[in-house]
Amino acid sequence: MRKPLSAFAVHAILGLYTLLALFPIVLVVMNSFKARRAIFNTPLHPPSPANFDPVGYARVFGDSSLAFYYLNSITVTAGAIILTLLFGAMAAWALTEYKFRWNTLLALFLSIGIMVPIRLGSVAIIQLVAELNLINTLTALILVYTAQNLPLAIFILSEFIAQIPKDLREAARCDGLSEYNIFFHVILPLIRPAMATVAVFTMIPVWNDLWFPLLLAPAGGRQTITLGVQQFLGQYITDWNAVLAALSTAIVPVLLLYVIFSRQLIRGLTSGAVK
């Protein structure tokens, strides 16, 4: 960055790409506040007192179920993250720490899921969930997403646990801590950055998934927000005020959360992905 010209070029490229990344999002959010005619005739104008019309939001929030759908999505995503992290860390610990007979084979078995999409087994999953009496419950979604995310979680966490100096564990053992205590009180706190990485990789696809909510919990107020918005869009497809407001409602909270936590997430990503 010694020459100012090259610094300018770098900022020009990054800035242009940032615009490209943001433009569609801004366009939708901006127009969601405008009157129908203004949306169609002057889509690039920002909202102003002249064309302001929140009718779309009135429609979206008049449909009171959307608030519940948010709660559902939060429950499912949090549930899946917690189970994935807990079960994943426990399994990763056992696989790296204890050298038992089927260790390598089991590790390989657990990594199949990284390569193969669970979606290909949808029908068997539906039947299974039905037999367990879990249809239209959030539990079913949490379990499926946990199964879906465990392989990558175990993979990342194993690599990370392997980096923890042996002395630490041996010292803990000398202090007379049980294996369980070593894991929960020594190891878990140490792998927090890696767990942040796993949390991100779990969160994005779970929050945004349309497929399994559609098949496993499509009704009865158990819809996730992604499915709820999809259903809402289907219903008001020609009402662009409502469509744009619904899209904004789906976009903005996710992005706000992302911006708030992005520093932690990136820190987790950078320290987690490095080895």
Partner 1 sequence: MLIKGLKALLLGAAAAIALSGAASAGTLTIESWRNDDAQIWKDKIIPAFEKAHPDIKIEFTPTAPKEYNAALNAKLEGGTAGDIITCRPFDASLELFNKGFLVPLNDLSTMGNFSDVARSAWTTDDGKTTFCVPMASVIHGFIYNKDIFKELGLTEPRTEEEFFAVLEKIKANGAYVPLVLGTNDQWEAATMGFQNIGPNYWKGEEGRKALIAGTGRLTDPAYVSTFATLAKWAPYLGDGFKAQTYPDSQNLFGLGKGAIYAAGSWDISTFRAQKVNMGAFKPPLPAGAAECYISDHTDIGIGMNAKTKNPGDAKVFLEWIGSEEFANILGNELPGFFPLSNAKVTLSDDVAQTFVNWRAECKSTIRNSYQILSRGTPNLENEMWNVSAQVINGAMTPDAAARQLQDGLAKWYAPQQK
Partner 2 sequence: MPQGAYLRLLLFFLGPAVLVYTLFSIYPLLATILNSFYSRQSDGSHLWAGLGNFHTLLLDPTWSGPFWNALKNNVIFFLIHMSVQNPIGLLLAALLSLPRLRFRATYRTLIFMPTMLSVVVIGFVWQLILSPLWGIARMFLNFFGLGFLFAPWLGVESSALITVSLISVWQFVGIPMILIYTALLAIPDELIDAATVDGLNQFQAFMWVKLPLIWPTIGLVSILTFVNNFNAFDLIYAMKGALAGPNFSTDIMGTLFYRTFFGNQLQLGNPAMGSAIATMMLIIILIGVMAYLFLVQRRIQRYSF
φ and ψ at 220, to 5 degrees?
70, 30
Partner that binds at residue 214, options partner 1, partner 2, none, CB closer than 5 to 8 Å by kind: partner 1
Partner that binds at residue 118, options partner 1, partner 2, none, CB closer than 5 to 8 Å by kind: partner 2
**Site membership for partner 2, residue 218 (CB under 8 A):** no
In this complex, which beta carbon is closest to partner 1, that of residue 151 or of residue 213? 213
Stretch that binds partner 2, among 55-63, 64-72, 150-158, 188-196 (CB under 8 A): 150-158
Stretch that binds partner 2, among 46-54, 55-63, 102-110, 164-172 (CB under 8 A): 102-110
Partner that binds at residue 66, options partner 2, partner 1, none, CB closer than 5 to 8 Å by kind: none
Q: Return the residue of 118, 214, 251, 254 that touches partner 1, per CB under 8 A.
A: 214
x/- mask, partner 1, residues 167-196, rule CB under 8 A, reads -----------------xx--xx-------
In this complex, which beta carbon is closest to partner 1, that of residue 156 or of residue 229? 229
**Site membership for partner 2, residue 105 (CB under 8 A):** no
Residues 44-83 that bind partner 1 (CB under 8 A): 71-72, 75, 78-79, 82
